[in-house]
Amino acid sequence: MTAVERTLKTRFGFEKFRSRQQEDVVRAVIKGERDVFVCMPTGAGKSLCYQLPAVLATGITLVISPLIALIQDQVEHLKTLNILASSINSKLPLEERRQILADLESESPRLKLLYITPEMVASPSFQPCLNSICSRGLLALLAVDEAHCVSQWGHDFRPDYLKLGELRSRLPGVPCVALTATAPKRVQEDIAHALRLKSPLTFVLPVFRKNLKYDVIFRDLLPDPYIHLHAFAKEALGGSTAEKGCGIVYCRTRESCEDVAHRLTKLGIMAKPYHAGLKAGDRTTSQADWMEGRVAVIVATISFGMGVDKADVRFVAHWNLAKSLASYYQESGRAGRDGLPSFCRMYYSPKDRDQLNFLIRKEVARKQEKRGSQKELDKAPILDFEAMVAFCEKEGCRHATISQFFGDQKPNCDGACDFCHNPKVVRAQLERASALSTRTEPARRSEPRGPFGFDPELYAGGRKGYGFERYDEEWESHAEDDSERRKKEFGDMFRKQMSLRKVSVAVHNADCQLKEACSQRIPRLSIVLAHLLVFLFSTDTLSQAVEIEHEVFRACKNATLYRAAVLKKVSDLKKGSGHAEAPPVDEDGNACSSCVNGGESKIAQEEAATSSSSCIPEEQQGFTPASQVYSLKRKRVGAGFRGSSNPFQTAAELLKTSQHEVLSAGLTPQGPARKEEEQEEKPEAKRTSLSVSSGSKDHTSLDSSSKSWGKPLSKKEQKRANAAKDSYCISRYFEKKKMESTQRESNTVPEPEEGGPTLVTAPEWKGSTIASPTDMKAKNTGCSKDVESRSQNPRLVVNPPVDVTMYQAVKETARIEEAMRESESATLLELQSFFVSQPSGRTAFPCVSRPPSNCKRRVTFDPVVHESKVDTENRYTKQLLPEAVTLKEAANIVVRVLDPFYKKGKFATKDLFKSFARFLSHLLVEGKAKDQAKVKTEAKCLIKSFFSSVQRCESEADWEGLRGRDQ
Ligand SMILES: Nc1ncnc2c1ncn2[C@@H]1O[C@H](COP(=O)(O)OP(=O)(O)OP(=O)(O)O)[C@@H](O)[C@H]1O
Ligand SMILES: [Zn+2]
């Protein structure tokens, strides 16, 4: 018995080599005369090809592997075999790291295999260790696992793999073995080139695995897909009587993992979910239960399976489409590693296809943007995905499709796929699916050839490309945590935009009559309400109005309270007097500048944000108006974008939608002409309009009109409509007050004719709501005179009666404030778009409506309002007072925010993580009382800034710098 055979048996426990090729590779590597390239199918036993030589070699074998999870599994496995293997990675506890480095520094290290990621190889911290090993001639072999990651044509391209070329040039005498399961010619060439393999010995085995039975089921054709899956799993596992082996179901999202696992269990097959959203403990339990046979089926995202080496996986079902054929080959290849018959099923749905198609193209575009537009577009992921689609939608042998994709000869399937088993069944299914897609997607019919839009021409070049990262945790995070990234992007962008809009003293207009107009204590947006308040008073009482406003301003600590108090103030005025006053308007119906002027400086800040007002300091120009800011809220792919490739909606577009909804209710922004048009076009709209003018409630009319357009609104649309409606209602509340006052004061006001044509004032959505500072100034003089003259000539503008209570208005304010606190929520932008900007990008607050230019009003002042006191203790503000967080609550928040960092290995030990969390919690509750939202924001901010300077937290000293920080 040779040393190789002995080692195979005694150290690895195998009686013989799995195949002739495996033995050949092992011997070639041991010889070490030439570099070796290995391309063998999944489960062929590639690991042994470098592990066995490593055990026999004098010195250390450095193994490059793409993922820490994969490395950990390998190291664990080798440890159980009593083979000294370790890894240096960011997740390694500090003590263990020290021990490994000490061993490597010793004269004759005991370590046989050292696993590292390509990133670690290139990291400066690893260089001294690497240099030390190399200079002492201790490096026996370099093994590059998953070598296709080096190729841009590989489906798992990892740029850091390219750094291995440089590593190789530093190791001239050290042989290299590169291994992969998926490398057609082009990828093979890339590997040889990038890893500087010198005339390597090449071992390439066909990808065909005859024990795997492939089939594709169109999910949408099934009456109950879960029952179908259950029946499949049951059969694959050997039926109810003799259950054997286990299975994997791959899903694309965490939710579907949970859902499918639950359904299967309910139907009688124990199944557990496994995904990144589970607590580490739950995930480990799921995996252990499955590995040890306590649970038959694991329902997982693609992160599961890396390094999972279970021989008796009897089936792998894909509940959702894989992102590439190469990925699919590898994922499905986890079945039947023991060589026994096993099943690989794809539950295909064109919906999945469209979603994935969208995501992949977005990802390609993102990467392309990073790389620079001059570089050739990386089509590989798209082509690889299209190959996956072709696999599902094309008639033909599934094994042949896979083999051809990898550049192999057509294999002898011999009935190991649904098509070869019974082509008629496959054809019939395609026809039914085609008919279904024709019925449900008429818009698609014209473009695609073949069923479901599959164009066979597209896949001619499919063999070149491989798509996306298979193992990459990044992919997992793209697929599952994309929303997180988007949230972050949105948060950054939002903060940037908001800070650009912050007003410096330079913006302050000397004409502003509001006291402390430049104060930043209450965010700029709130000032709109001050404007409203002032707006309600006539010029005669401006000074009192300013006083009242200032009192409110001083009494309120934050925007929420301020808004509520202002609204309450108006409410009190209403109660006290029964009337509020309409603002004076000039000849053109513009609000009198004297009145508006009170808010001018603060309002100018609004203007600065949304118009090219001359008083905007240069450094404040160049921000994006909210109307043009893209809503980064992730849209449901394919939903609402028919015929449009742009997945984003600007706030302006968003507003347009809402506007449309308002329009659909007959509340025409453009006034009567437009309204009549609408009425002619839509009888329903006419009804609605009449009902509005005859006094029906706004809510009802809006809702009913939405429905009357035939298409029921989606939840989201409904939400937007409500937001628009609410804003609109507040506006109309004030309009109503003004009108009532006008009616009361002047008996010349005619009643609107019942059911007859009614002149309706509606918020001016597109026009300027607030005059530019220059305009205002120009109109400032002679305002009272205008008022006087207008009162002689009151041309009535009738507002439809509105039933909106102040309480609703305050509630709405609170709701908006709540949304604002959740600044990461994209909903905020939508709300923001209502409150900051209009489609035209002009300053606006939809509540502040301005009558059309042809209207004139009589303005009066009710003295009762003087007697109203500012009541900061009112019931609304009381309700809105934030409660200070307790230490325990703060700790909960901190742990939630910090946990992802811990999971990413940003703490050397769990204890460090805990004490940092403790430290932060104390820090955050110190000083003045804060509510939960504030604590969360501060926690995020602190943690972010901490990790921007600390790569990995190694000791308590790392956060010493945070101690004196002012919170
Ligand atoms: N000579 C052998 N005899 C029996 N079993 C073997 C032999 N060599 C390897 N195996 C087993 O085959 C299984 C697959 O091996 P390995 O994980 O190395 O496959 P692989 O080719 O790396 O697959 P993948 O590409 O999917 O990672 C393992 O369970 C391993 O223990
Ligand atoms: Zn076949």
Q: Which atom of ligand 1 is nearest to the CA of 49?
A: 18
The answer to which of 222-226, 618-622, 878-882, 957-961 has the lowest mean pLDDT is 618-622
The answer to which of 70-84, 211-225, 325-339, 715-729 has the lowest mean pLDDT is 715-729
Strands 271-274 and 297-300: parallel
In order of 544, 581, 625, 769, 883, the CA distances from 862 in angstroms are: 12, 7, 38, 25, 38
Q: What is the mean pLDDT of the chain?
A: 66
DSSP-H helix ranges across 170-272:
185-194, 225-236, 254-267
Pocket of ligand 1 (CB under 6 A): 14, 17-18, 22, 40, 42-48, 181, 309, 311, 333, 337
Note the pLDDT tens digit of each residue in 288-299.
899 888 999 999
Model pLDDT, residue 488: 56
Amino acid at 82: N
The answer to which of 21-35, 40-54, 59-73, 411-425 has the lowest mean pLDDT is 59-73
Note the pLDDT tens digit of each residue in 569-582.
766 765 554 443 33
Model pLDDT, residue 875: 35
Separation between Cα atoms, residue 384 and residue 334, nearest integer Å = 20
Query: 666: left (phi > 0), else alpha (psi -120 to 50), else beta?
Result: left
Best of 11, 15, 48 for a ligand 1 pocket test (most atoms within 8 Å of beta carbon): 48
Separation between Cα atoms, residue 683 and residue 13, nearest integer Å = 82
Residue 62: strand pairing partners: 114, 142
Q: Which atom of ligand 1 is nearest to the CA of 17?
A: 1
Number of H-type helices and E-type strands within the chain: 38, 13
Read off the pLDDT band of 64 (50, 70, 90).
Answer: very high
Give the ligand with the smallest distance to the CA of 410.
2
Best of 18, 78, 144 for a ligand 1 pocket test (most atoms within 8 Å of beta carbon): 18
Model pLDDT, residue 782: 35
Read off the pLDDT band of 714 (50, 70, 90).
Answer: low
The answer to which of 366-380, 550-564, 697-711 has the lowest mean pLDDT is 697-711
Model pLDDT, residue 21: 94
Best of 47, 80, 156, 340 for a ligand 1 pocket test (most atoms within 8 Å of beta carbon): 47
**Burial, 641: exposed, middle or buried (Cβ in 10 Å; 0-12, 13-18, 19+)?**
middle
The two three-digit tokens of residue 827, written as one number? 């909903």
Q: Does 479 have pLDDT greater than 70?
A: no
First to last CA, the chain: 72
Q: Does 238 have pLDDT greater than 90?
A: no
Average pLDDT over residues 6-18: 95
Q: Which residue has the higher pLDDT, 421 or 622?
A: 421
Note the pLDDT tens digit of each residue in 733-779.
444 544 554 454 444 333 333 333 222 222 222 232 223 333 333 33
Separation between Cα atoms, residue 681 and residue 83, nearest integer Å = 81
Q: Which residue has the higher pLDDT, 785 or 124?
A: 124
Separation between Cα atoms, residue 199 and residue 516, nearest integer Å = 79
Q: Percentage of the chain with pLDDT > 70?
A: 53
**Burial, 793: exposed, middle or buried (Cβ in 10 Å; 0-12, 13-18, 19+)?**
exposed
Model pLDDT, residue 123: 86
DSSP-H helix ranges across 60-126:
68-80, 94-105, 118-122
pTM, full prediction: 0.49
Give the ligand with the smallest distance to the CA of 67.
1
Q: Does 225 have pLDDT greater than 90?
A: yes
Ranges of beta strands (E only) in 275-432 are 297-300, 313-318, 342-348
> CA 18, 22, 23 angle in degrees (round to 5)?
95
Average pLDDT over residues 168-180: 91
Residue whose tokens read 């083979």: 83
In order of 346, 389, 456, 698, the CA distances from 216 in angstroms are: 5, 11, 18, 52
The DSSP element (H or E) to which 272 belongs, if any, is: strand 271-274
Q: Percentage of the chain with pLDDT > 90?
A: 29
Q: Which residue has the higher pLDDT, 363 or 778?
A: 363
The two three-digit tokens of residue 958, written as one number? 């790392």
Q: Does 119 have pLDDT greater than 80?
A: yes
Q: Does 440 have pLDDT greater than 90?
A: no
Give the ligand with the smallest distance to the CA of 12.
1
Model pLDDT, residue 941: 86
Read off the pLDDT band of 269 (50, 70, 90).
Answer: very high
**Burial, 152: exposed, middle or buried (Cβ in 10 Å; 0-12, 13-18, 19+)?**
middle
Residue whose tokens read 């042989």: 175
Separation between Cα atoms, residue 590 and residue 264, nearest integer Å = 66
Give the ligand with the smallest distance to the CA of 426.
2
**Burial, 587: exposed, middle or buried (Cβ in 10 Å; 0-12, 13-18, 19+)?**
exposed
Separation of 469 CA from ligand 1 center, angstroms?
A: 22
Q: Does 671 have pLDDT greater than 50?
A: no
Query: 769: left (phi > 0), else alpha (psi -120 to 50), else beta?
Result: alpha
Separation between Cα atoms, residue 536 and residue 387, nearest integer Å = 66
Q: Does 798 have pLDDT greater than 50?
A: no
Separation of 232 CA from ligand 2 center, angstroms?
A: 19
Average pLDDT over residues 117-122: 88
